[in-house]
Every structure is written in structure tokens, then in C-alpha cells.
Amino acid sequence: MDLYRHVPVWARTPDGVVLYQCLELLGQGFTVQSKDYFHAGSIPAGIAHSQQQLVELLQEQAPE
């Protein structure tokens, strides 16, 4: 069984923020599962959607 650690990484941009959804395959390394852009006013709904998408992607395909 593979174990993953979720590591959210944030970056600030002039237009908003970027969330990199990173996963660490324990003992093997890191991968970026997705990259999401957020602008003022879209952050709460955008984060919820990003989290849902992360779980769906992980169920469909193992990160490499």
C-alpha cells in the first residue's frame, strides 16, 4: 500500500495566489498533483473545489 502526505504550497502573484497541491509518496519523493489560481472573491469556493479535485484525481490515477 502506498502512503501519501499532502503538502499544499502557496505562491503570491500580482493577480492573486496560486496553490500547488503537492503529494509526497512516503520514502520516494514529491510530485505536484495540480496547480490552481485564485483571485479575490473566488478563494473559499475555489479552495473547496481544489480539494475535491485532488481527491478525485488521487482516486483515478496514482501520482508519479
Q: What is the pLDDT of residue 63?
A: 83
- Tell me the pLDDT of the chain (64 aa) as tens digits: 889 999 999 999 998 999 999 999 999 999 999 999 998 777 778 888 889 999 998 899 888 7
pTM, whole model, 2 decimals?
A: 0.82
DSSP character string of 4-43: EEEEEEEEEETTEEEEEEEEEETTTEEEEEEEEEE-TT-H
Q: Which DSSP state fits 61?
A: S
Report d(CA 24, CA 15) in Å as an integer: 28
Number of domains in the chain: 1
> Which residues make beta-bridge pairs with 20?
9, 35
Q: Which DSSP state fits 55?
A: H
3-16 pLDDT per residue, tens: 999 999 999 999 89
Contact 23, 9 (CB under 8 A): no
Residue range(s) defining the domain that contains residue 28: 4-60
